[in-house]
Amino acid sequence: MSSVEALIYYSKKYPKSIHGIFMGPLTNLALAFLIDNDFPSRLASINIIRSDRTEKTIKNISDYAASNSWCDPLAYVILKECISKINVPIRIVDLAMCLAPHLPLSFLDNIKNLNRRASKMNKHLDLFEIFIDRTNQYSRKIYQENGIIVFDLYAAAGLFNLSLWKTVKRVNIVNVVKSGQLQGQVEYQEDSQGSVDLFYEFETDQMAEKIVDTISRAGILLMHYRRNYLSNN
């Protein structure tokens, strides 16, 4: 079963129960809609991570170009012209917000140390260690001088903890650049009756705490985080 077939199949099996998270290109979302026009209406929500706003990006060619609207601008056109007109919540997390470092470098070392001292195996922390492994060529990209970029993790967690967002604007998609130097850039227009919620900024400390609480499944790590990180910021 392909990804597109799976989207359609499970949306029929569990109508209004699936929150779709689409990271980067919307190819699968667009194809699922073209095959089955009712597909989006069966989702509980559509959540899109990383979208370049026209006023924020001068040239949409960067290390992250392959994972945003530059990769498949026509899919964003289908979102604009068709899917956004269907009665389903649509949330988009702005790329500029995603690229701002959030977690301190020392925090990840604390996670690894605590995991090694744990009295029993914690698979959630084990998976998180894999995610932050500096020897992995893909994981190395998340490390910056002043912190760690974890945009997908933050954005996904934030979309299901909406109270943690500080800035959310209701907008309509008014233009998608389909080709040329600015290919993939998306122009939004504020509209109180718009069809899309655009997320700009969240409560960093509270979001980090929520993520740690979720992945650790152990009170000791959350207590350590509150005591050693939040108290120093």
Q: Are residues 92 and 158 in the same domain?
A: yes
**Phi, psi for residue 129 in degrees, rounded to 5:** -65, -40
Q: Are residues 21 and 47 in the same domain?
A: yes
Average pLDDT value for residue range 131-135: 73
In the numeric block, which tokens belong to residue 51? Answer: 């979208």
The domain containing residue 213 runs over which residues?
104-147+204-232
Determine the pLDDT at residue 124.
Answer: 63
Q: Are residues 82 and 158 in the same domain?
A: yes
Q: Are residues 27 and 127 in the same domain?
A: no
Contact 33, 40 (CB under 8 A): yes
Task: State pLDDT tens for residues 155-212.
Answer: 667 777 788 788 889 999 999 888 887 787 888 899 999 999 988 777 767 776 776 6
Q: Are residues 96 and 70 in the same domain?
A: yes
Q: Are residues 189 and 143 in the same domain?
A: no
The structural domain count of the chain equals 2
Average pLDDT value for residue range 93-103: 69
Task: State pLDDT tens for residues 31-55.
Answer: 999 999 999 999 999 998 876 655 5
Segment 151-155 long-range contacts (CB within 8 Å, at least 24 positions apart): 151/49, 151/50, 151/93, 151/97, 151/98, 151/99, 152/23, 152/49, 152/98, 153/211, 154/98, 154/102, 154/202, 154/207, 154/211, 155/47, 155/49, 155/50, 155/93, 155/98, 155/199
pTM of the predicted protein model = 0.76
Determine the pLDDT at residue 178.
Answer: 87
* Consecutive H or E run containing 31: helix 27-35
